[in-house]
Amino acid sequence: PDMALVQGDTTTVLMASLACFYRQIPVGHVEAGLRTGNMYSPFPEEANRRLAAPIMSVHFPPTSLSAENLLHEHMAQDTVHVTGNTVIDALFLELEQQEKPAIKADIDHQLSEYLPAGWRDQKYVLVTGHRRENFGGGFEQICEALAHLATKFPDHRFIYPVHLNPNVQGPVYDKLRGLDNIHLIPPQGYRSFVSLMADARLILTDSGGVQEEAPSLGKPVLVMRDTTERPEGVDAGTVKLVGANSVNIIAEATTLLSDQQAYNAMAEAKNPYGDGQASQRIVQVLQQYFDLARSAA
């Protein structure tokens, strides 16, 4: 190929980039420049993206801060192009699709297999968790917090699509199974998960992508991690870091579920991660890249 595009920070991204480098194939990196500054958090994603960055011919950071990270690491300025994140493009396209009655009905039918009748009519908190850094004591604390919140807010449901990793399933089912307003459901596909995010009152997560998607939906996010490669959300006020700490999780969730002013301050904060046009900007940069390559040939 004339170029390969990789997206994100998985080990697949690193290996694909390295394979292309060995064949002298240019690589463009979508969602470039995210950093926590801690090589082991998130693990192994921080190492993957730092090791892959020097291989890239073109970088597509989602924000100006992620671009600054790349420039600080001495990536050439003319290879760094701020575009926003394509995850927001995909989200907006999916939300348009979910306005169609047939698609909405299909989503509700799928979710009705796991959730009780009338669940959308009741306020609910959406929970996700899968980070290796939280295995063990971290998930114990997260589950303790959820059990406490479920008791404290019996008028709310807590919907938790549980990751298949045994290190997650073990503590989650041990501590949360049997609580009436906690619903432990299988992992959901993209379409159903977007629907769950869109109607949630609050989202508790240790995910990276959810930190970008939820603010676009006007949903406050409590991030159950000690660090984030997406500090823009924290700075904008759409996201709060609470760690895998039961005291912090309970305190911040209680504030958001009981104080409308505090809730609105987060829900109405500006999303810093894009406007749904990232893909178009990437295409424009690639056109310029190949135009220059042809003129130099």
Is residue 9 flagged as an active site residue? yes
Write down the catalytic residue from 29, 45, 89, 225: 45
Domain 102-267, architecture per CATH = 3-Layer(aba) Sandwich (3.40)
Is residue 199 flagged as an active site residue? no
- pLDDT single digits (tens) 146-183: 999 999 999 999 999 999 999 999 999 999 999 999 99
Write down the catalytic residue from 120, 148, 163, 191: 163
- pLDDT single digits (tens) 99-147: 999 999 999 999 999 999 999 999 999 999 998 888 999 999 999 999 9
Write down the catalytic residue from 35, 49, 59, 130: 130
Q: How far is CA 204 from CA 99, 239, 258, in A?
A: 25, 10, 16
Q: What tokens were used for 291?
A: 């135009």
Given this chain, do its domains 4-84+277-296 and 102-267 carry the same CATH topology? yes
Write down the catalytic residue from 9, 46, 89, 140: 9
The terminus-to-terminus CA distance of the chain in angstroms comes to 17
Angle at which helix 246-258 crosses helix 137-152, to 10 degrees, equals 30
- Answer whether CATH 3.40.50.2000 is correct for domain 4-84+277-296: yes
What pLDDT shows up at residue 134? 87
Residue extents of the structural domains in the chain: 4-84+277-296, 102-267
Is residue 229 flagged as an active site residue? no
Give which of 188, 45, 195, 179 is closest to 128, Cα–Cα. Answer: 188
Write down the catalytic residue from 132, 133, 148, 199: 132
- pLDDT single digits (tens) 49-66: 999 999 999 999 999 999
Is residue 131 flagged as an active site residue? no
pTM (2 d.p.): 0.91
Is residue 281 flagged as an active site residue? no
Site of tokens 């730092």: 50
Give which of 94, 111, 98, 189 is closest to 157, Cα–Cα. Answer: 111
Provide the percentage of residues in the chain whose pLDDT is more than 90. Answer: 93
Print burial letters for 178-198: b (CB count within 10 Å at least 16), e (below 16).
eeebbbbeeebeeebbbbbbb
